[in-house]
Amino acid sequence: MSNKTCFVVMAIGDQHHNGQAVTAEDLKSRYDNLIKEAILKARPNIEVTRADEVSAMGTITTDIVQRIMYSDYIIADVSYPNPNVFYELGLRHACRPGTIIIKDKDAKVPFDIASLRYIEYENSTQGLKDLSSKLLQTFDSLDKDNSRPDNHFLEVAKLTSFKFPEFSKEEPLELQIMMSLLQSPELIDLFSKQQRGEATDPIEVIRALSTHPHILEPFLKLMLQSGELNLLPSKP
């Protein structure tokens, strides 16, 4: 069984908020010594990554988007109102469950996500212990039902039976037909006769296909694509 993956979404560069400045070095230290450490204490075998470990600072690359989409967990630190953080959080919410929001105990929760659950942490030795304990509980909870919506977007999508775009690559029609034929001995026999040059009744073939819609659909698509079947009326 492969190790689970966790992508950390957080501010990376220098931040200025409410008259206070936080350097990139301070944020890197917080990641290395608190957030990442707490994650690894909760799940020692998990693979933890932050954006600057896979991309140039300030850019959102294909690799980052893929990690947002496919990581088992996303931990989003919303302590600072960073546009990239909220954009990446929104991308994840639209993709799949498995998001954990965290923030510094002194940071104000942005209004738009105030209704979401989050974990507060303190940047201290005790804070590390507490954060690790809370992350462990949350990981376990997510694993018990990893398809349950964890944000309003996915809840509404589930409630309204929203149909997400299908981007998966389809198998070639010829392969779909061959795989489907294996489920019908009758059709295998008819097509074997055709391959041997024996006479077959076209009506019998059509009748056999009509009883197997999962075979008929790709078969008709292939005929339409090849021009063997034309549903448009011929011109006089």
Burial class (CB in 10 A: 0-12, 13-18, 19+), 200: middle
The answer to the question of residue 231 being in a domain is: no
Same domain, residue pair 155 and 177: no
The answer to the question of residue 165 being in a domain is: no
The reported pTM is: 0.70
CA 39 → CA 3, 78, 132, 147, 196, distances in Å?
A: 13, 17, 6, 21, 64
The answer to the question of residue 48 being in a domain is: yes
Could you tell me which residue, 227 or 124, shows the higher pLDDT?
A: 124
For 42-84, the pLDDT digits (tens) are: 999 999 999 999 865 555 688 899 999 999 999 999 999 899 9
Same domain, residue pair 144 and 183: no
Which of 125, 121, 43 has its CA nearest to residue 78?
A: 121
Residue spans of beta strands (DSSP E) within the chain? 5-9, 15-17, 20-22, 47-50, 73-77, 99-104, 119-121
Same domain, residue pair 142 and 81: yes
Q: Is the dihedral of CA 116, 122, 127, 128 positive or negative?
A: positive
Residue 178 lies in domain: 173-226
For residues 163, 167, 168 and 174, what is the CA-based torsion angle, rounded to 10 degrees? Answer: 100
Whether the predicted pLDDT of 188 surpasses 90: no
Task: Compute the distance between CA of residue 130 and CA of residue 133 in angstroms, rounded to an integer.
Answer: 5
Averaged pLDDT, 162-178: 72
The answer to the question of residue 236 being in a domain is: no
Q: How many residues does the structure list for the chain?
A: 236
Report pLDDT for 1: 47
Report pLDDT for 16: 86
203: its two tokens = 């009506």
Q: What secondary structure letter does DSSP report for 170?
A: P
Whether the predicted pLDDT of 181 surpasses 80: no
For 102-139, the pLDDT digits (tens) are: 999 999 888 888 889 999 999 999 999 999 999 999 99
The answer to the question of residue 184 being in a domain is: yes
Could you tell me which residue, 174 or 46, shows the higher pLDDT?
A: 46
Select from 135, 159, 183 the last residue of a domain: 159
Same domain, residue pair 149 and 200: no
Could you tell me which residue, 171 or 19, shows the higher pLDDT?
A: 19
Averaged pLDDT, 190-203: 75
The answer to the question of residue 233 being in a domain is: no
Same domain, residue pair 218 and 140: no
User: In 17-151, which residue ranges form alpha helices assigned H by DSSP?
Assistant: 24-30, 36-42, 62-70, 83-95, 125-144
Same domain, residue pair 127 and 207: no
82: CATH:
3.40.50.450
Same domain, residue pair 205 and 183: yes
The structural domain count of the chain equals 2
Same domain, residue pair 150 and 207: no
> Helix, strand, or coil here: 103?
strand
Whether the predicted pLDDT of 18 surpasses 60: yes
Q: What secondary structure letter does DSSP report for 109?
A: P
Same domain, residue pair 182 and 80: no
Same domain, residue pair 137 and 209: no
Same domain, residue pair 116 and 52: yes
